Amino acid sequence: MAGSPTAGAAPRIGVLALQGDFREHIASLTALGAEVVPLRRPEEIASLHGVVIPGGESSVMDKLSRAFGVAEPLSAAIREGLPTYGTCAGMIMLSDRITNAIGGQQTLGILDTTVRRNAFGSQNDSFETDIPMPDLGDAPVHAVFIRAPVVEEHGDGVHVLGALSDGQVVAVQQGNVIASAFHPEVAGEDRFHRRFLDLVRNA
């Protein structure tokens, strides 16, 4: 892990680019002034100031991250303090526990959360909604849910950033890790990426 960037320097962010919508995250972070690189090999982790795990298919991402040898060193770096943001499948990858997982599916085991995979149904059940999130400002967050998970349980150390009107938790933070069940990068919502970059600069 590279630590925090030097004053005035652009933070170097790796976006896990094995599968999923990593290109959208690269574009969002680049627009905010970060130096962004695709992360595909374990040796690339040491040069990063932060990492993003994108949406996609969590079971495929899990298999590929282990096949490429990225999962174990990435988990270790996050545990050591590497600022991390995960969306949708990224939230599942970061969670310690999954319900509705496929056989043999593993995670990085970081967040003290239990998430339900595909909590809202299939691709046809995708939806958008506005969610109040006072930690991110007065205006609600426009959230796009695509085969999204939901946080069913969380430990005392997990701070809830956002929940649906029925109380289902869809955005959390635990120390150096932020996770959302939805896709800010699809909606053009940059406040999660800004919060993540603040974590990077303050690391």
Catalytic residues: 88, 183, 185
End-to-end Cα spacing for the chain: 11
Whole-number Å distance between alpha carbons of 175 and 104: 28
Phi, psi (deg, nearest 5) at residue 169: -80, 130
155-158: list long-range contacts, CB under 8 Å, 24+ apart: 155/112, 155/113, 157/112, 158/111, 158/112, 158/113
